[in-house]
Structure 1
Amino acid sequence: MSLFAKLSAFLVRGRTRLFFSGAVLAACLLSGVAVAASPAPVAEGDGYRYYAIGDLAAARPGPVEPGLMLVGGGEWPYDAFRWMIARAGHGHIVVLRASGAAEAQDEFYNAIGGIASAQTFVFSDRKAASDPAVLAAIAAADGIFIAGGDQSNYVRYWKDTPLGAALDRHVREGKPLGGTSAGLAILGAWTYGAMDGGSMTSEVALRDPLDPGMTLVGDFLHLPYLEQVITDSHFARRDRLGRLVAFVARLRSDGVAGAVGLGIDEGAALCIDGDGVGRLYPGDQDGFAWLVRPTQPPARVVRGQPLEFSDVQVTGIGADSRLRLPGLEVQAPAFEKVARASGGELVLRDAAPFAPATSR
């Protein structure tokens, strides 16, 4: 039987889940559809590498449900990933990234388990974001996860492309989407794009909120409940409260009246269900999510001068808290503080029962 005859038979008797390019389909078919993990890609397309593990033709065991999983980077909090897997109906996960290889898909399938298959597309060129094989896999995915790396690649490769629209559509269809580190950075209505190749520090951002490295990107993804949010990752470990306050000040000064910041600690994840209720999974390091909400406009956002910004509410979201969106109500906050940026420094006051390390 020819390859095309095998393909036709496979599509007829299967769920017609996947429509890859000929190279990808051939690799899947020749391996019997159940694809084993390998350090080498299953196939390569125009501007991407493709990996897969599991039974790509298996029926999804359960129904899908909406959900957003915001992971702060570092070690995965497996309970949060199990939450996402359950919302994907224990079906088929697609991992998107612009560096690395099959590490995330293998962790999904082997270390966590409970899914039928996982596939990975590693992007190296913007043209892959219009590839029919990539778009077909995204359309068929039960859940999508965006890995870490360099978020500037995601902006360059995906913004204003069919892939970006496909991610929005995936969420509108009531399917879960997650991201960690750089993958978290692009989930908000605005993204710190790191477009200059660097990584903005709190020190520089507070000293000059209009520094050329403050590359904020809008109109990328358009996800429910994050319409006013800019996200940040590796939060307490990398002392990023100052830069998130500066990001929010910059947006507010640019006329985004409702802009707020949401930072996630390394090893933690905030999972938001279809009703807009967010629950924190703190991970092994007992991390938090940090909600940054101004009570008034910034007093000074001027090129080359320190940020002046007072009465910025900083609310900690812990394992016992609940964040209710879009109203930004936090039930049982882990801590509550007020921040003031002045003279290039950030000062916190009104100590809560828990004093995070970055309050020093």
Structure 2
Amino acid sequence: MPLRPLRFTSAAVGLAALATALTALQPAHAAADRIRLGSTADVARASWNGPAFTMNGAGGIVTASMARAVDDIRGGTGSLDVVVLAGSSPTSGSRTPECDAVIGLAGVNSCTTWTLTTANDGNRGQVNTDVRNAEFVYFAGGDQCRYAGWKGTALEASVESVVAKGGGSGGGSAGHHINSPIVYDACDGSVTSAEALANPYDRYISFTTGMFEWANYGAVVNDSHFVTRDRMGRTMAFLARAVKDGLAPGGAAWGVGVEEGGGSLFLDRDGKATQYGQDAYVVLADHQPERAVARKPLTYTNFKIWRLTPGSTFDFKNRPTCGYYLRSVTNGVPDRNLYSGTPVTDCGSQGAVR
């Protein structure tokens, strides 16, 4: 039906003028921004030795795991190019904090930071050229919902091409989240453990699937800032949802929670992970929840939990069946001591977690 014509009073005109003025003061989406450090020319090389991945509990680069990724991908010789993808610029300090840390590492030819603020930025030609010419892509901390918005764009395929040629991918905080095949995208808001356990279908819980599916890392939900922000409970709820809703193939879902303060899970081309800096936790939900319904607290018996201390390893290609401790959630209340426990099984010569 046609719209009725508007009638403006002097007060309405004044309010409209005020609204226009306020709108002018609101920050608009910034244009895509590119800053390159190091060589202006990309490395040309026929083959690479990866893939390799870094999964960090906070947004910044962890030097030890990043240096290992660079060395693994280049096979100890030559140099490579890195691209950092960010959804917003830092509010203070350097505009390229990740590249500042990367460019000084042995074997790094260049590091380019792209700040992309809209989903359509994923289709920008120069962005995709830079990514495809790189050997490692690092997703900065920030907002994983913005990264999830690049699903289906050219940028998704470009990042996948880097891994496929033997390069690597990684990220911290939000960048850690986006590198799992089941992404808690936080597009509707961030959920706490208490909220998620009280209602595993809380409106703040939403997932993106079908984006990055890295070899040996299937059926995983990543989480970050894990112990400091007490996120074990919400990871348990995520896993129960993944199993209940069929998001994880095979009826089992795995959580990988990495602590901040220098925590980084490094994953090599054979699926073996090594923990750096701070602890990480691998959590397995291998059966249907006793109760996971909307507006009801979660009940789930016997999550299997592996605690990875710095220097320990975990085989994601041949996932262990030993070395875990058990914790349950009953009517939304988790067992005590979620972050430590005595393994209920002895791995013996399996050596699942060393």
Normalising by structure 2, we get a TM-score of 0.79
Query: How many Å apart are 1:296 and its aligned residue?
Result: 2.5
1:351 alignment partner AA: G
Query: How many Å apart are 1:168 and its aligned residue?
Result: 1.6
Matches for 1:27-66 after TM superposition, within 5 Å: 47-57=31-41, 59=43, 63-66=48-51
Q: Matches of 1:318 and 1:330 in 2, distance apart? A: 18
Partner of 1:209: 200
Q: Matches of 1:74 and 1:162 in 2, distance apart? A: 24
Q: Matches of 1:310 and 1:192 in 2, distance apart? A: 22
Identity of aligned residues (%): 28
Stretches of structure 1 that go unaligned for 5 or more consecutive residues are: 1-45, 354-360
Deviations 1:174-211 (A, max 9, x none): 11111111000011111010011x21100000000001
| CA pair 346-94 structure 1, distance change in 2 beyond 3 A | same
Q: Matches of 2:49 and 2:83 in 1, distance apart? A: 14
SS of 2:326's partner is strand
Query: How many Å apart are 1:87 and its aligned residue?
Result: 3.0
| CA pair 238-118 structure 1, distance change in 2 beyond 3 A | same
Query: How many Å apart are 1:265 and its aligned residue?
Result: 1.0
Q: Matches of 1:58 and 1:134 in 2, distance apart? A: 14
Q: Matches of 2:306 and 2:141 in 1, distance apart? A: 25
SS of 2:103's partner is helix
Q: Matches of 1:209 and 1:273 in 2, distance apart? A: 33
Normalising by structure 1, we get a TM-score of 0.78
Partner of 1:268: 263
Q: Matches of 2:216 and 2:230 in 1, distance apart? A: 26
Matches for 1:32-181 after TM superposition, within 5 Å: 47-57=31-41, 59=43, 63-73=48-58, 76-89=61-74, 90-100=79-89, 101-110=95-104, 112=105, 114-156=107-149, 158-181=150-173
Tell me if the contact between 1:51 and 1:119 (Cα under 8 Å) persists in the aligned partners.
Answer: yes
Stretches of structure 2 that go unaligned for 5 or more consecutive residues are: 1-29, 90-94, 344-354
The question of 1:244 aligning with 2:235 is answered yes
The question of 1:338 aligning with 2:330 is answered no
1:292 alignment partner AA: V
SS of 2:296's partner is coil
Aligned length: 299
SS of 1:329's partner is coil
The question of 1:351 aligning with 2:341 is answered yes
Tell me if the contact between 2:138 and 2:171 (Cα under 8 Å) persists in the aligned partners.
Answer: yes
The question of 1:303 aligning with 2:294 is answered yes
The question of 1:184 aligning with 2:176 is answered yes
Deviations 1:235-290 (A, max 9, x none): 11110000000000001011231221111111211111111111111x2xxx2121
Query: How many Å apart are 1:60 and its aligned residue?
Result: 6.4
Q: Matches of 2:288 and 2:240 in 1, distance apart? A: 8
Query: How many Å apart are 1:340 and its aligned residue?
Result: 0.8
SS of 2:335's partner is strand
Q: Matches of 2:231 and 2:100 in 1, distance apart? A: 30
Query: How many Å apart are 1:75 and its aligned residue?
Result: 5.4
2:342 alignment partner AA: A
Deviations 1:95-131 (A, max 9, x none): 1111123121122114x45411110110012222111
Q: Matches of 1:155 and 1:225 in 2, distance apart? A: 21
The question of 1:193 aligning with 2:185 is answered yes
Tell me if the contact between 1:48 and 1:124 (Cα under 8 Å) persists in the aligned partners.
Answer: yes
Tell me if the contact between 1:340 and 1:348 (Cα under 8 Å) persists in the aligned partners.
Answer: no
| CA pair 174-348 structure 1, distance change in 2 beyond 3 A | farther
SS of 1:313's partner is strand
Query: How many Å apart are 1:53 and its aligned residue?
Result: 0.7
1:81 alignment partner AA: M
Partner of 1:325: 316
Query: How many Å apart are 1:63 and its aligned residue?
Result: 4.6
Query: How many Å apart are 1:321 and its aligned residue?
Result: 2.3
Tell me if the contact between 1:94 and 1:119 (Cα under 8 Å) persists in the aligned partners.
Answer: yes
RMSD (CA atoms): 2.3
Q: Which has the higher mean CA deviation after the structures are superposed, 336-345 or 309-318?
A: 336-345
